[in-house]
Amino acid sequence: MSTKRKVFDYESPLAPLIKRLVQEKRASGYKYDTPARVLWDLDRFLCGTTVEPDELPKPTVMQWLAQNPQEKASTQQRRIILVRQLAQLMTRLGYSAYLPPKGMGPRRSYVFSSRILTHAEVRRIMQAVDALPPSPKSPHRHIILPEVFRLLYGCGFRLSEVLNLKNQDVDLTQGVITVRQGKFAKDRLVPPAVDMVERLRNYDEQLEKRALASREPDAYFFPSARQAAWACSTIYHLFRKVLLQCGIPHGGRGKGPRVHDLRHTFAVHRLLRWYEDGADLNAKLPFLVAYLGHKDFTGTQKYLHLTAELFPNLTARMNEQFGGVIPAGR
């Protein structure tokens, strides 16, 4: 299934090289959508300079990188990385280009600060979502959103993965959901629990009986009132209102609970369930890596650290039973 990408019209003297960089990255399997937009910003900046088609001098690079001194560290690091990638391409092709050194710019913070919800909080959230009434702008949200939120928690999906599901991606006969072009441009198969599959069958029947949405294979499985994908911002806003209704405090912008914390909560609750069932966590972890669509074990190990922080009384017992399954802290 092809995904329509925004095409940027690069016009600076370095436009051919920028286009080549984008093409090479996408040919290597990267989505490269946000980088393509940032490179468009660079391209527009270069249009106002005297840069030549075969050079990328240091003063020009430093001038562009210094444009937004108030930006987040992660944003500035992204711009530095993209300039470095362009410079590496130019150098490889024999052009003169300033290569920003590694370590340049502010350090990014990689603190894993998720808000893991309790089982009781998850139940309250689901009850509140189940009780959502229709609204003028979303007349069918009371049918759609309970299933969206259950997939977020019940399968640990990323929000964009759920909202972008098409009918052809949800096999209700086999009970398998296909996530296409998820993070790291990976496809994966996710089998929800049997009761979740049954809920989705009932949901699908409701939509078909009421003729609320197209059942064509390439139509959205969770359609908005305009038969498009729901906007992530709409779900974020609604989630904040649900938290308030449930009496669950929110720490403010950039803190939790966030919609994405339902994914983190799924992972921690699953690890705890496996431990309580006496399962071998060393054998189970590869399944969690694949289920969540992680690139490798690094992301999943964060949940082991988080489990240890939340339930320190379990750490010694888990390591005794499963042979040091929780890695040493960094």
Catalytic residues: 158, 183, 260, 263, 294, 303
Q: Which of 75, 67, 65, 69 is nearest to 108 (CA)?
A: 75
Omega cis (within 30) before 257 = yes
The three-state secondary structure class of 223 is: strand
The pair of structure tokens assigned to 240 is: 């904040």
What is the Cα–Cα distance from 257 to 106, expressed in whole angstroms? Answer: 27
What is the Cα–Cα distance from 271 to 307, expressed in whole angstroms? Answer: 8
What are the DSSP calls for 134-177, one per residue? Answer: P-SS-TTHHHHHHHHHHHHHHS---HHHHHT-BGGGEETTTTEE
Give Cα separations from 228 to 4, 187, 231 (angstroms).
14, 22, 9
Return the number of other C-beta atoms located less than 10 Å from residue 17's C-beta: 21
